[in-house]
Amino acid sequence: MKNQRNITFTISLLFVLTLFSCNGDKVTKKDITIIPEPAVIEYGNGYFKIDDKTLVIADTNNPEIFKLANTLIERLNSAADLDIKIKKQSKNINQIILELLENEDLGEEGYHLLVQNNIVRLQANKAAGLFYGIQTIFQLLPVDIFSYQKVNNIEWHIPCVEITDKPRFSWRGMHLDVSRHFFPPEFIKKYIDIIALHKMNIFHWHLTDDNGWRIEINKYPGLTDISAWRVDREDKHWKEREPQKEDEKATYGGFYTQEEIREIVEYAGSKYVRVLPEIEMPGHTSEVFAAYPEYSCTGKIFTVRPGSYWPNSEIFCAGNDSVFVFLEGILSEVINLFPFEYIHIGGDEADKTRWKACPKCQSRINKENLKDEDELQSYFIKRIEKYLTSRNKKLIGWDEILEGGLASDATVMSWRGLDGGIAAAKLGHDVIMCPGTHCYFDHYQADPESQPLAIGGYTNLKKVYSFNPIPKSLNKDEEAYVLGGQANVWTEYIPDPEHIEYMALPRMTALAEVLWTPENKRNWRNFRKRLIIQYERFDRLGINYYNSKQ
Ligand code: TNX
């Protein structure tokens, strides 16, 4: 009896093994074009074929998992023209299983994907990991899976591989300046799609700056009635734009309503992208004084600037308490719109000329025992941080917030090289690295002669790919403060969405690999080969890009 049971067991085990092992040609590295490159790939034999009988198995009682299963079948059923259903379980073996499984090694965003001839099993610790695993499945399929049209006469094969993958950094960001030029909500969603396609997870939304206020604030309607609009000088070079004349109407600009913002934030959430709003202060704020001149030092009325000016002298008065009431009123609405734990308050390039001459600012310096205007800026930021902390939010600022003393729990975004980030990490503060040298996608990406007009600089694809967010001068403990990196897309010279895509891609593709892939697995030559297929994906998705080879 015992023997018989053993035999039955052995036979069923053999049956299971042959069933689940991969048959067919050996899969090789060149068959796989995943970007960013996964941490670990093992190659099997043959492929899993998706057809109408394939089932997606997922916990349909869990709304988040059910939604993820839907994102998988929607693309399969549209581009691949299949009719795949989601089931909770099935005896059928032709299935793609999505499941949550406690596995600390995979962290918040990692996944494990096993593709065999008869079955695909995607496991993750958290839903975000399943989302990234699904992105990987799409990239294992023929590129036509990215097509908006139905594509017939294709075998939808997933090569047999085993992938264990998770990101190197938790902060993988893309910034976009919507003040210098305004871009419609539909494009913001497309930008978020592109972020998610690259397994990046932060959208830093630069919502306010001198050239236009872009977020509806119910308490202060002047911000969208007046500060969101400037005169149209689009036919002139950014630096040669005459200010608004007395008899002129400001017609160029726009803003996002709170309803649009809520929708965008929710949309981003469904793609595991968190939205970081930026409200600039104390500088880069002259547009505010077009509607509310009382919050500047001089009280003078300004018009919203249609182009550049330097330096940024028109900044919030730091000696006037009503400025803080105003800013807290704004931030209170911002906090209600954005669930992300961080709020970015800018802090960059504030010229202190007005503060030096302002009696209120000088009296604040005296009363608070501050040494100089740098310490006054630090006072300003610390006061705002106190408010944010009281509302359970964390403050992020550009590296200038180090000057005059860093607020106690502030996170620093290091843009003027890595030094600000290094200093902040050494002080025990979290840091996001986005140095102008490697992460400014408003800079030229090739010989300026061959490119549309840009702000200057030169950052080609290879340079972005060589970026390392961890400076050598940090020790192991300090390294841990570097949350990751991001690229910034300032739009003084970028007036429309196609141009944004052109400037962002493929440099963003390189940055995505820098921020996701283990450093020792990064390989420029191999990346360039995979890039060719990535371009085909962009083509299918209707995304513009610069056909860069270096
Ligand atoms: C500096 S980076 C700025 C922006 C400009 C950008 C142009 C930073 C924090 N401030 O206001 O748009 O340079 O590259």
Query: CATH number of the domain that 141 lies in?
Result: 3.30.379.10
Q: Is the CB–ligand 1 distance for residue 108 below 6 Å?
A: no
pLDDT of residue 14: 45
Kindly state whether residues 272 and 374 are assigned to the same domain. Answer: yes
349 lines ligand 1 (CB under 6 A): yes
Q: What is the per-residue pLDDT for 8?
A: 47
Please report, as a single letter, which amino acid is at residue 163: I
Residues 185, 325, single domain; the answer is yes
Q: In 105-245, at which residue ranges do the beta strands (DSSP E only) sit?
A: 111-115, 119-124, 156-165, 171-177, 202-206, 208-209, 212-213, 229-230
Distance CA 346, CA 400 (A): 9
Q: Which of 31, 162, 232, 349 is catalytic?
A: 349
Q: Are residues 210 and 233 in the same domain?
A: yes
Residue 411 host element (H or E):
strand 411-414
Res 20: pLDDT: 43
Question: Is 209 marked active-site?
Answer: yes
Domain endpoint, select from 142, 165, 188: 165
**Known active-site residue 280:** no
Check whether residue 150 and residue 191 sit in a common domain.
Answer: no
Where in the sequence is the domain holding 367, given as residue range(s)?
171-412+427-435+490-541
CATH number at residue 282: 3.20.20.80
247 part of the active site: no
Shared domain for 40 and 122, answered yes or no, is yes
Cα–Cα distance measured from residue 437 to residue 371, given in angstroms and rounded to the nearest whole number: 33
Same domain flag for 123 and 195: no
Nearest to 23 by CA among 163, 162, 154, 160: 160
Is 464 inside any structural domain? no
Residue 115 pLDDT: 98
- 335 and 219 in a common domain: yes
In a domain, 159, yes or no: yes
Residues 182 and 144 in one domain: no
Domain count for the chain, please give it.
2
Contact present, 60 and 86 (Cβ < 8 Å): yes
> If you search the block for the tokens 């030229």, which residue do you land on?
444
Predicted local confidence at residue 550, as pLDDT = 76
Q: Is the CB of 442 under 6 A from ligand 1?
A: yes
Question: Could you read off the pLDDT tens digit of each residue along the chain, which spans 550 residues?
Answer: 444 555 444 444 444 444 445 578 999 999 999 999 999 999 999 999 999 999 999 999 999 999 999 999 999 999 988 999 999 999 888 999 999 999 999 999 999 999 999 999 999 999 999 999 999 999 999 999 999 999 988 999 999 999 999 999 999 999 999 999 999 999 999 999 999 999 999 999 999 999 999 999 999 999 999 999 999 999 999 999 999 999 999 999 999 999 999 999 999 999 999 999 999 999 999 999 999 999 999 999 889 999 988 888 999 999 999 999 999 999 999 999 999 999 999 999 999 999 999 999 999 999 999 999 999 999 999 999 999 999 999 999 999 999 999 999 999 999 999 999 999 999 999 999 999 999 999 999 999 999 999 999 999 999 999 999 999 999 999 999 999 999 999 999 999 999 999 999 999 999 999 999 999 999 999 999 999 999 999 999 999 999 997 7
Check pocket membership of 348 for ligand 1, CB cut-off 6 A: yes
CA distance 112 to 163: 6
User: Which of 140, 165, 190 is the last residue in one of the domains?
Assistant: 165
Same domain, 22 and 156: yes
What is the distance in A from the centroid of ligand 1 to the CA of 446? 20
Question: How high is the pLDDT of residue 310?
Answer: 82
Q: Which amino acid is at 278?
A: E
Q: Which two tokens stand for residue 457?
A: 């600089």
**Residue after which a domain boundary falls, among 165, 197, 217:** 165
